[in-house]
Amino acid sequence: MPRPTLDDIFSESDEFGLLEVKPRAACAQNTDRGLAVVGEVNNFFEKTGHLPNPDAADHEEMRLGTIWEKLKQNPTDEMLASDHLGLLVAKDVPQSNWREDPHEGQIPDSLDDIFDDDALDLDEDAVTLRHVTPSAERHLPDHRAEFVPCTDFDRYAGKFEEVQVALESGERKARPVKKWAVIEPVEGDFFIRNGLLAMIAEKSEMTARGGSRDHRLRVIFSNGTESDPLMSSFRKSLNDDKASRFIEKVGLGPLDAEWEADRVGVSGTIYVARSLSEDPAIKNQSKILHKIGVTSQDVRRRVADARNDPTFLLAPVEVVATFDLENLPREKVEHLLHKFFERARPSELFILDRFGKKVHPKEWFYVLPEHVSQAAKLLLNGELHKFAYDVKQQAIVKR
């Protein structure tokens, strides 16, 4: 038996009236819902000053805007009567779409324009930087490790000649510096950098720059120039130079007497520096608080970068006294002076670096320049061990 077609089905009698479809009349429930939406949109307009946007990023505004777009196409008399702001008959105002590019006039020129906006209510602590060096100071440092003529090169010339002869004869080897090798140069080490022999003549007090421990170096080059980079900068320059070399030391190891043969036992200068810090805790005692240091380079170059060096309390300093040394090792002199004035070292002295960490410099003492002068003379005469520094009397007394 063939299957009935649709025409056959519809031509049959509709006993139960299934095919009698009548249009659905608007019920009171839909009217009440429309009135609620009109009230909600009116409240939204009073709070924000604009109609809900169907393309808004906010989900609730997008939902309300989509319903409003459909509702205002065929409003009822009840809805028009409840629309006390006349939003259903108002002309459409173009709404901003977050998906579209902003107009040129809406783009701020700087962060200051954003933070100055009255609509942006931010706590001052959220936009105030602390423990951060201003960009102008970072980009324009007071001190650069530039190449300058070495005024006392005659003290080192003989050592450069010895190393050069040893390299040519094969007695000493020049080993390549491995890529990213962590190099810890010490005084007397020789390197080849940019085709020149380089000698580490001085390694100054330990400092902490950028949160890392570091040293200031004095590097003498075979062409009669010198530079004073940070140890980390010198290490980087060796890694960047593909032809850099490390000159092997003489001797079998640190216990061998010849291991330190490359160190030039030149004397230096004792300097006494006073801090020019504006920190009240330091400024109030600046006349009695002094840094005692010993350097083999020009003192002015040694203190040039003081404001960036925690060793100098992150502030400029004034050199108030200097004393020349003759035929005495610099490191030993510095150690003896610091030990002699040990009782005058302030245990509570510290500064905060730009990361908020405490740094306790060890080269500052409650002494006067004349005390250091007297101690230096006793040291030169070999009589320092016969005296001691009395903190209560603030004087050097005989033991």
**168-226 tens-digit pLDDT:** 988 888 889 887 777 888 888 899 998 899 998 888 776 665 556 778 888 999 999 99
- Asked whether residue 329 is domain-assigned, the answer is yes
- State pLDDT tens for residues 334-368: 889 999 999 999 888 888 776 677 778 889 999 99
Question: Which residue range is the domain that position 126 belongs to?
Answer: 108-137
pLDDT exceeds cutoff 60 at 94: no
Residue 12 belongs to some domain of the structure = no
Together in a domain, 223 and 300: no
CA 61 to chain CA centroid, Å, is 43
pLDDT on residue 210 = 55
Does residue 169 lie within any of the structural domains? yes
What is the average pLDDT value for the chain, to the nearest integer?
A: 80
User: How much is the pLDDT for 29?
Assistant: 56
273 shares its domain with 178 = no
Enumerate helices (H) and strands (E) in the chain, giving the number of each: 13, 15
Residue 61 and residue 50 in contact, taking contact as beta carbons nearer than 8 Å: no
Q: Are 318 and 276 in contact (CB under 8 A)?
A: yes
In a domain, 194, yes or no: yes
Does position 311 have pLDDT exceeding 80, yes or no? Answer: yes
Closest CA to 216 of 272, 296, 133, 153: 296
**Same domain flag for 240 and 282:** no
Total domains, the chain: 4
Query: Is there a single domain that holds both residue 276 and residue 393?
Result: yes
Domain-embedded: residue 8: no
Beta bridge partners of 293: 271
